[in-house]
Amino acid sequence: MDQKPLWRRIVDFPLVAMLLAAAVFILAVAMGQLLNQYVLPHGLDPNLATALHATVDIALVLAAYKLIIVRLGEHPRDDLPGSPALKPTAIGLGIGFVLMCAVVGVAALAHVYQIVGRGDTSRLVLDLVGIAIMPGFMEEMFFRGILFRWLEEFGGSWAALVVTSALFGLAHIMNPNATWFSSFAIAMEAGVLLGGAYMLTRSLWMPMGLHAAWNFTQGEIFDVPVSGMDEHGLVQAQLSGPPLLSGGTFGLEASVIGLIIATGTGLWLVWLALRRGHVVQPRWVRRGALRAS
């Protein structure tokens, strides 16, 4: 019998813990925005300003995670352990880079992606921070580190994978040039891929690295729009041909090429997690098994 007081049992309930963690995350982000707007110096070089603002935002969210979020719920844990961090991050970076190279390569073979000129490195720092590090850290912290974690603790791995994938796709519906198909594609290819990486490793390092490399490779290296947002790459490239293959103005993430390659890899990661016994049963199933034993 649970001897915890009622208030603690309520706070520890997975969905309540998830809401509390989300509130802490949002508060940390809001504090970062206030500091960037009213405290940090203005008029800086754009590259330096972007790096400084990102550092403040990430530092505040990371502090909120380490000091508060990891202590919430019935089974407190840290999904961003200091060790090991390098290996899973490197693996994630490698997977993200290879996957996007494969997507662009197939698109080139299908004659929907073409390099038309040389780019430059003038936006290298801006893109490294703006489309790689910040989304990789912030979005994975929220969608996998908070939503997936406690949805899984309540409803099991399959429910968490479906719900967070759908929410991740829906979160991109307001992006430039977005359509319902592009959001469906994001839900499938990114939601399953990143959710599978989290299920397999039980850490945020691999999905963060994968997310960052996927974005940076397509935007800064290959000059492909990142989730509908036009980027400035090391080359100048254009997409043409049927939107089903090119993704249209949203980019290759809304193409069947990206959908098949990324979703297939995501399902492979989920399969590996299943083989290794990393699939969590719903809370009521686990509690029923404990009572039966």
DSSP states along 121-145: STTHHHHIIIIIIHHHHHHHHHIII
Distance CA 67, CA 73 (A): 14
**φ, ψ of residue 98 in degrees (nearest 5):** -65, -40
- Three-state DSSP class for 130? helix
* Model pLDDT for residues 56-91, shown as the tens digit of each residue: 999 999 999 999 999 999 999 999 999 889 999 999
Tell me, what DSSP letter sits at residue 178?
Answer: -
Under DSSP, the state recorded for 115 is E
* Residue 1, pLDDT above cutoff 50: no
User: 47, 62 in Cβ contact below 8 A?
Assistant: no
Q: Which pLDDT value is given to residue 2?
A: 56
- C-alpha 76/C-alpha 69 separation (Å) is 8
Helix or strand or coil: residue 168?
Answer: helix
Based on the number of CB atoms within 10 Å of its own CB, is 53 exposed (0-12), middle (13-18) or buried (19 or more)?
A: buried
| pLDDT of the residue at 122 | 80
Q: Express each pLDDT in 130-185 by its tens digit.
A: 899 999 999 999 999 999 999 999 999 999 999 999 999 999 999 999 999 999 99
- Compute the residue count for the chain: 293
Q: Cα 38 from chain centroid?
A: 29
Structural tokens at position 255: 């193409």
The arithmetic mean of pLDDT across residues 257-279, rounded, is 97
